[in-house]
Amino acid sequence: MQLFKQSLRSILFTATVLAAPLTMAATAELLWQVDGFDQPESVISNKQATRLFVSNMNGEGGEKNGLGYISLLDLQGNILQKQWITGLNAPKGMAISCDTLYVADIDHVVVISITSGKIIDKIPVDGAHFLNDVTVDARGHVYISDLMGGTIYKLNNGVVTPWFNNERLPHPNGVSWHQDQLMVASWGKNIKADFSTEQNGSLYRIDPVTKALKRRSASEYLGNLDGLAHYRQAHYVSDWITGEVFELKGKQINLLLQLPTGAADISIKEGKLWVPLMLDGQVQGYQL
């Protein structure tokens, strides 16, 4: 893992952003930070905004070691149960529908009852290489991105099927259902062994009916995008490689935060932004 970290950090010396000019208009106030996690990849709150769930890979991103787990926190960053759910491999993105937590875990979707705190199903995804993020639409359909396979899958009534694959959307990472469309943050084109790319990623939207793919204006080649969230009239994305968190509002791009390498799957609820710093084993909470 240490060599993996070093190679990823070295990319910072050559990373570039080929996008619209950045501004520093946006602000975020640090509320708390908590250490001691094991490669935290994603943070999400429950519907009542009273609890936070943190996925811990606890190993390499594609390693099936059974050591991955989910932590349970309150909104002040206090750890209520560090290993709330155990026995996972390399859990990453998460999404919630009603009382159910869905977790992307390499080539399975893990289904967890929030009330009981128990795993109720592990659904295999045939053909998946590196499942990364999860989102749920208004009807309860679940969408899962495969970073390395390039496919977005759909889970409906316990059945997973390929839903979208297009070479114009390279290495889909963060996904979020927003205004009746699927928003997708791309890692970039032609990913290399050190996770750098020949071309930075952009933010896209997919029409769920026509499958029409459109790149969001002012997001062209923004970075190696990981987390994706929305608040009020803005999109928020994190660049895993550079540690930057951007606010995209209209045609303006604001640099919200400059963090260390490893800023992963962010989320926002009621003006609170949560950022997992994967390589530092830390989770941070901000007020927007």
If 0-12 CB within 10 Å is exposed, 13-18 middle and 19+ buried, where does residue 55 land? buried
Measured CA to CA in angstroms, residue 17 lies from 21, 253, 261, 277 at distances of 9, 12, 15, 21
CB 184 within 8 A of CB 206: yes
Instruction: Inform me whether the pLDDT recorded for 166 exceeds 90.
Output: yes
At residue 27, the pLDDT reads 86
List pLDDT tens digits, range 230-283.
999 999 999 999 999 999 999 999 999 999 999 999 999 999 999 999 999 999
Buried b / exposed e over 158-182, threshold 16 CB at 10 Å, is eebeebbeeeebbbbbbbbbeeebb
Query: Domain 2-287: which topology?
Result: Neuraminidase (2.120.10)
Which tens digits make up the pLDDT trace of 61-106?
999 999 999 999 999 999 999 999 999 999 999 999 999 999 999 9
Our separate counts of H helices and E strands in the chain read 1, 27
Q: What order do you get walking across the sheet with 151-156 strand by strand?
A: 131-136, 142-146, 151-156, 159-165
> Averaged over 16-27, what is the pLDDT?
56
Write the secondary structure of 10-30 as one string of H (helix), E (strand) and C (coil). HHHHCCCCCCCCEECCCCCEE
